[in-house]
Amino acid sequence: GCSERMGRWKSVLPFRGSTMVETVVTVALAACARVILVTGYRGDELAALFAGEPRVTVVHNPSWELGMFSSIQRGAAAVSTPRHFVQLADMPFVSLSVYGSLIEASEADFVFPVRGGERGHPVLIGPRALEAVLAADAGTGSMKEIARRLTAVEVPWSDDAVLKDVDRPADLADG
């Protein structure tokens, strides 16, 4: 998105000595062999930011204004592994241990970290879920709807990092 609630573009805001998007990608790269970074608004800037990182594949979503699902779908089209994560660039508080716990969980179409009964991110997605994402309509598709139809495992999580996104300046002060 274009960070309307923040008032400034979130992806490149300073966060713990880096930017939000670099923090999220660095943690994901510690857990995964490759990160597929889907861009939309100001996508050229993010592509330039990661141009020197061969393990980051940048995929532009020209339909980003349709919403988050269209970006998830564009990233899913570039997936080449049986299971993959979906993580949001505005969730820089997620630690490496979350990824490991999800990988160790039982295999299912979806594996969610859960805090206080609420499903969070990252989400580990299996092959049937990937197929469903790719088959859905980019403008009306919904991860929640797809998850309702398929199997899911919920991994209890002890802190709110898996739920905590950054939408407003005050959200950064918490970290």
- Kindly list the distances between the CA atom of residue 111 and the CA atoms of 62, 88, 147, in Å, as whole numbers in the listed order: 29, 15, 10
The tokens for 81 are 């592994």
Do residues 166 and 91 make contact, with C-beta atoms less than 8 angstroms apart? yes
pTM (2 decimals)?
0.91
| Average predicted confidence (pLDDT) for the chain | 91
Please indicate whether residue 138 or residue 108 has the higher confidence score (pLDDT). Answer: 108
Per-residue model confidence (pLDDT) at position 8: 54
d(Cα 127, Cα 104) in Å, to the nearest integer?
17
The tokens for 87 are 């993580």
Residue of 107, 108, 101, 104 lying closest to 158 (CA atoms): 101
Per-residue model confidence as pLDDT tens digits over 78-112: 999 999 999 999 999 999 999 999 999 988 999 99
